[in-house]
Amino acid sequence: MYNELPCDYYNSNPGKRQEENGRFYAKESIMNETQKKAAQMDTDEKVAYARRLIAESDNVVIMAGIGVMMECGALNYDRDTEAYRIEEEYHQCPEEIMSASFYNVRMERFYEFYKKEILSTNLHTTATFPAIEKLQKSGKLKGVLTYNIYGLNKEYEIENVYELDGNIHDNRCSKCQKLFPMEYLRDSKGMPVCDECGGTIRPGIRLHGERMRNDILTDAVNAVSKAEVLLVLGTNLFDNMVKFAVNHYQDNKLILITKHEHFTDKAADLVIHEHVCDIMPKIV
C-alpha cells in the first residue's frame, strides 16, 4: 500500500544500489528478444506469448500490486476522490492516519478509521486467485510478493506468500503478545484492548513510516533474483517496491499485466493492458 524504499535493506547490502540494472534507463533501441517479439503483437498474441513463456518455465514469481486488491473491491486511498472523502470526514489524509506516528499519538482516532475503512470492507476474490493456485499446483510458482493486507490468498492453496505490508488477521497485544483475529478488532467497542492483560492491540499491517520486515524482504528478493518469469500484476514499475524487486530480477521475461498505462511500462518485456483477473486465467 505504501511506497517507501526499504533503506535498511540497502544499508545491509551496500552493493545493491550500484548494481541496479539498466532496465529503467535502457535506450529503446536496446530491446531484448522478448521485447522485440512483443512489440509486433496485438493483445491476443501477447496473451498467447505470456502463456507460452509461463508454460516453458519452472520458476515463476508474482508481484501483486494494489490493482489486484482493487479488483477485489478494495478502495485505493491513493486515488484523489477517496483521499478527498477521507480528508472531509476525518480531517486528515489517509497516509497520515495510517502512519506509525499517528497510531502512537492518536490511537483511538486511528482505530475509528481502521475499523470502518479497512476492516469493514467487504471484499470478494477474483479469477486471479484460482489462477495463482493453479500455477502453485503445477509446481512453477516459487513465490508471491503482495501488498494484499486482506489475506485473500489464505482461501487458496498458495505457498511462499510474502506479505510486504503485513495483514489484517494477525494482530498482537502490545504487552503480552496474545494474538487476536481481525473480527476481535472490528467488533470491539471503541479501541480494542487485550482481554488478558488490558494492553493495546497492535494491528498486523505495516503502518506508513515503518520498515518492512527484513526477513520477509530478504526471502522475497531471493525469490525474485532466481525467477525466470516475473509476473507483475496490477501495478506499475514506478512503484518503489516493484522497482526495488525488479532491480533484483536477472532474466528477460518480465510480464506486466495492468489496466492502467504508465510511462515506465516499456521497461517490462511484455505488457498487457487489461484487468488482471481477465488475463490470469488465460495464461496459466
| CA distances in angstroms from 35 to 16, 30, 261, listed in the order given | 25, 9, 17
CB of 193 to Zn ion, least distance (A): 8
> How far is it, in rounded angstroms, from Cα 70 to Cα 61?
21
CB of 81 to Zn ion, least distance (A): 39
CB of 63 to Zn ion, least distance (A): 35
Residues 177-206 that bind Zn ion (CB under 5 A): 178, 194, 196-197, 199
Q: Which residue number, 92 or 200, has a Cβ lying nearer to Zn ion?
A: 200
Residues 86 and 117: beta-carbon distance below 8 Å: yes
> How far is it, in rounded angstroms, from Cα 75 to Cα 98?
14
7 belongs to the binding site for Zn ion (CB under 5 A): no
Contacts 24+ apart (CB under 8 A), 133-139: 133/157, 133/158, 134/284, 135/54, 135/60, 135/62, 135/284, 138/284, 139/58
267 belongs to the binding site for Zn ion (CB under 5 A): no
CB of 218 to Zn ion, least distance (A): 30
74 belongs to the binding site for Zn ion (CB under 5 A): no
Q: Which of 63, 131, 173, 256 forms a contact with Zn ion (CB under 5 A)? A: 173
What amino acid is encoded at 39 in this protein? A
Count of positions on this chain that bind Zn ion (CB under 5 A) = 8
Write the interaction track for Zn ion spanning residues 211-250; mark x where CB under 5 A is met and - where it is not: ----------------------------------------
CB of 254 to Zn ion, least distance (A): 45
**Which position has the grid cell 513463456?**
53
Beta bridge partners of 143: 61
CB of 178 to Zn ion, least distance (A): 5
Residues 185 and 194: beta-carbon distance below 8 Å: no
| CA distances in angstroms from 223 to 80, 144, 162, 283, listed in the order given | 34, 9, 10, 21
Cβ contacts of 205 within 8 Å, gap of 6 or more: 1, 118, 149, 165, 166, 167, 168
Region binding Zn ion by CB under 5 A among candidate stretches 52-60, 67-75, 105-113, 166-174: 166-174
Q: Which of 48, 55, 176, 179 forms a contact with Zn ion (CB under 5 A)? A: 176
Q: Which residue number, 67 or 204, has a Cβ lying nearer to Zn ion?
A: 204
85 belongs to the binding site for Zn ion (CB under 5 A): no
> What are the residues binding Zn ion (CB under 5 A)?
173, 175-176, 178, 194, 196-197, 199
